[in-house]
Amino acid sequence: MIAGYERHSPSKLNLFAECPSMWVVEYLIGERQPVGAPAHRGSAVEDGVSHGLNDLSAPLRDCIEVAERKYDSLMALSGDPRREKYRETVSDMVTAALAELREYGKPDGMQGLVEWQPEGLKLPIVGYYDYQWTRHGIVADLKTTERMPSEIKLGHARQVSLYVGGGNMAGHLIYCTPRKLEAYKLENAQEHREQLRKIAVIVEELLSLSDNPRYYLKLFAPALDNFYFNTPEARAMAYRLWGI
Q: Where are the beta strands (DSSP E) in 134-217?
A: 138-144, 170-176, 181-185
Q: Is the per-residue pLDDT at 194 higher than 90?
A: yes
> 78 near 36, Cβ under 8 Å?
yes
Host H or E run for residue 53: helix 37-54
- Position 226, amino acid: N
Look at 42-51, 77-86, 105-114, 192-201 and tell me which has the smallest mean pLDDT: 77-86
Q: Where are the domains of the chain?
A: 37-196
Residue 70 has pLDDT above 80, yes or no: yes
For the question of whether the overall pTM of this predicted structure is more than 0.95, the answer is no
Please state which architecture CATH assigns to domain 37-196. Answer: Alpha-Beta Complex (3.90)
Q: Could you tell me which of 71, 196, 49 has the C-alpha nearest to residue 131?
A: 49
Q: Mean pLDDT, the chain, as a whole number? A: 95
202 pLDDT more than 80: yes
Q: What is the pLDDT, as a whole number, of residue 116?
A: 97
- The pLDDT of residue 126 is above 90: yes
Between helices 154-164 and 10-18, what is the axis angle to 10°?
Answer: 150
**Whole-number pLDDT of residue 30:** 94
pLDDT in tens, 19-31: 999 999 999 999 9
Output 230 or 104, whichever has higher pLDDT.
104
